[in-house]
Amino acid sequence: MMLQAIKALSGTSTVSLRQHREEAFQESEDRHRLLLEMLPDAVYVHADSKIVEANQSAAKLFGYSAKAELLGKNVLDLVHEEDQEAFTNRGQDVGDEPALPVESRIVRSDGEIRTVESIVALTRRQGRQATIVVQRDVTEGRHLQDQLVQSQKMEAVGLLAGGIAHDFNNLLTAIGGHAAMSERATPDGHPAKVHLEEVREAVARAASLTAQLLTFARRDISRPSAVNINELIQDTGVLLRRLIGEDIELVTQRSSGSPVVSVDTQQIEQVLVCRWSAKMGRI
């Protein structure tokens, strides 16, 4: 009787231990899945190139409403065709430790291309080798970085333009000064008088261009003033007619009355020139 009781107690203990292990394993699995779903990054596992596990963030990244829609898909179908070879080689080179993050492009279900940062490591699932991938969408960050780089380039161009404008303006000052003194010293009716006047007008136009460069370089501020817009258009038309030649007709359209507006004349002249170019000869 005692032997039977010991055997029964031993059997009960074995069952309880097995049950405890199963419960502990299930709790561990539940924590693992909960943690996986809480991650904002996309996480998925693929074996033989087929996705066998994924979290909801992965579904969202690839444009699906449910993570079940990802299961069974070929992982290469989600990678941009130009990055597929590098993605495959990357998967072959990884080990048990997570590799350094790399950037690649993915294709969402709607065809949109996004840039992601990926970390890849080997794992095992149901007794066979698999690959776990963690991906983070960095598209917006890269876009902002590109904008910053472009802004820095434009700033460098502006600084260069400002420096050139200052040096050129100094030369124009010397040219204009000598032209003015030469014009005063030249008798009226002398043929050189007309040429010297043209030199002074050309210097004035060049000075206007350097002022625009300084404004572009942010080394000069816009200076609005009250001007008659009709007169400004007429003066700009005279300048354009001298530049475009006789084979192109330039037509200006003035408004009635004498409208006075507060504008930066240099900027308006630039707008008028661009407008004429766009309309092929009409302002």
Task: Write the DSSP assignment of 223-281 as a string of letters.
Answer: --EEEEHHHHHHHHHHHHHHHH-TTS--B--PPSS--EEEE-HHHHHHHHHHHHHHHTS
Whether 120 and 174 map to the same domain: the answer is no
* CATH for 76: 3.30.450.20
Tokens of 92: 């072959």
pTM of the model: 0.50
Tokens encoding 189: 């009716």
Pair 29, 89 in one domain: no
Instruction: Summarize pLDDT for 225-281 with one digit per residue, the tens.
Output: 788 888 877 777 776 666 566 777 777 777 777 788 887 776 676 666 655 554 544
One domain for residues 130 and 48: yes
Where is the domain boundary, 81, 109, 137?
137
Residues 150-201: tens digit of each pLDDT? 777 777 777 777 777 778 878 888 888 888 888 888 888 888 888 888 888 8
207 and 169 housed in the same domain:
yes
- Residue 207 sits in a domain whose CATH number is 1.10.287
Domain of 75? 40-137
Q: How far apart, in whole angstroms, are the C-alpha atoms of residue 54 and residue 32?
A: 12
**Is there a single domain that holds both residue 51 and residue 132?**
yes
Residues 60 and 133 in one domain: yes
87 and 48 within one domain = yes
Domain total in the chain: 4
Q: How confident is the model at residue 26 (pLDDT cuts 50, 70, 90)?
A: low
**Whether 79 and 167 share a structural domain:** no
Domain match, 125 and 62 both: yes
114 and 81 within one domain: yes
